[in-house]
Structure 1
Amino acid sequence: MNPYRLYLVTDEKQDLATLLHVIEQAVAGGITMVQVREKHGDVRAFIERAMAVKQILQGTGVPLIINDRVDVALAVDADGVHLGQSDLPARIARKLIGDDKILGLSIENEAQLKVADQLPIDYIGLSAIFATATKTNTQKHWGIEGLKLALNQTNLPVVAIGGINLSNIRQLSATGVDGLALVSAISHANDPKQATADILTLMQG
């Protein structure tokens, strides 16, 4: 099974009860991976959220990935870490988490893409595909053509992130991309389970 296929990135602005409800529903709808993101710097709150999510995911086979923080990932024994370009370098992160954990890295431009295959990572998060309100400091928007370029350039699985919604999922899936990462399209849906199922249907289309 491809764990990257439909990748939920949590919304750090949601309170814990809402977040857990969204994840529970998304898992029921067919989500294949969950990344807990917390940008506010409160490590204890991050660990608390991550532990609560881990409990929900227990026994589902859906891996738990921690955004940016290797210390938090180790503290909760998560399945992996996703790093940004300004976080801990991938080689150091790999030494700390060991060989069995999943390590992802955000790739924001062509120069980073060129060296990605030399790094001890498991997948790349190609960011941002389209403009998105969730992330305003993006270096570039890859678009469909940029995504195709990246897929041709790397041997690593590619997860597309940024501005992905029901209107462009079919087009993105047609590129053969390994996975799609979404925040709002699932987190802010009235029915996260149905939204997840609808996205998977579009991906097959």
Structure 2
Amino acid sequence: MHYSTFPYKLYLVISEAACLGKDMVRVAEEAVKGGVDLVQIREKEITAEELKRKTQKLKDMLDKYQVPLLVNDDLQVAQSCQASGIHVGNSDLPPVQIRNTWKDCGILGYSIEYMEQLENENTRAADYLGISPVFSTLTKTNTVTEWGLQGVEKIRSLTTKPLVAIGNMNIGNAYEVIKAGADCLAVVSAICAAASPGLAAEQLRNEIEKIK
């Protein structure tokens, strides 16, 4: 069982665009104070240099709270900023390759879009599996499957890896998704776009904690 090595419950996936004009570092800090215990920076439309600058700024703040930062899909930036880890999908650098290249990678996440992926070496190399998306979402439109609660239950029955549910996670479905077998919720809009990111994080965390 992997659970002891993945203690995280509420995972913030953040970008400038998702924050709707609010300062990204401030949104992340409020969210951490509210109960977020893992953060991923996910910026697709900016230069590597800009990503590096934003990642470093975010990491400097998160280090004060001892909250790990993951970088989405950019190994070079993750390594140069000494991030805690990286999250990759099906069309990104494979986890096996990342393990071979980055020996100090602390947390390696891998998105599952097909049931068949559960059997491969990349899944075995990952620390957790991102179930993406559980429910369809406008922030991630290039996905294949919408898993739903039954999909989460099915994957839970087939693997002992920690499962991180992503895709339209909010206060209305948080409890049900954890109950279905997810270990952690990855949230974008429900925190980033909230009037009070700290309060939104606290409410989500309370829903998660209802299930022991």
Q: TM-score, normalised by structure 1?
A: 0.94
How far the C-alpha of 1:80 sits from its partner, in A, is 0.2
Alpha carbons of structure 1 residues 33 and 3: separation in structure 2 relative to 1, 3 Å = farther
- Spell out, residue by residue over 1:104-148, the C-alpha distance to the aligned partner (whole angstroms, 9 max, x if none): 101111111232675311111010100101011110100000001
Alpha carbons of structure 1 residues 130 and 15: separation in structure 2 relative to 1, 3 Å = closer
- Spell out, residue by residue over 1:33-81, the C-alpha distance to the aligned partner (whole angstroms, 9 max, x if none): 0000110151001001100000110131211000001101001000000
Letter in 2 for 1:4: Y
Which residue is equivalent to 1:64? 69
Does 1:19 find its partner at 2:18?
no
Which residue is equivalent to 1:168? 173
Which residue is equivalent to 1:183? 188
Letter in 2 for 1:186: I
Tell me the distance in 1 between the aligned counterparts of 2:101 and 2:36: 28
Alpha carbons of structure 1 residues 106 and 116: separation in structure 2 relative to 1, 3 Å = farther
How far the C-alpha of 1:92 sits from its partner, in A, is 1.1
- Of 17, 29, 39, 1:34 maps to 39
Which residue is equivalent to 1:8? 12
Alpha carbons of structure 1 residues 173 and 116: separation in structure 2 relative to 1, 3 Å = farther
Confirm or deny: 8 A CA contact 1:117 1:154 kept in the other structure: no
SS in 2 for 1:77: coil
Which residue is equivalent to 1:150? 155
How many residues align? The count is 205
Tell me the distance in 1 between the aligned counterparts of 2:13 and 2:185: 10
Tell me the distance in 2 between the aligned counterparts of 1:178 and 1:187: 21
SS in 2 for 1:149: helix
Which residue is equivalent to 1:45? 50
C-alpha RMSD of the superposition: 1.8
Confirm or deny: 8 A CA contact 1:114 1:153 kept in the other structure: no
| Structure 1, unpaired ranges of 5+ | none
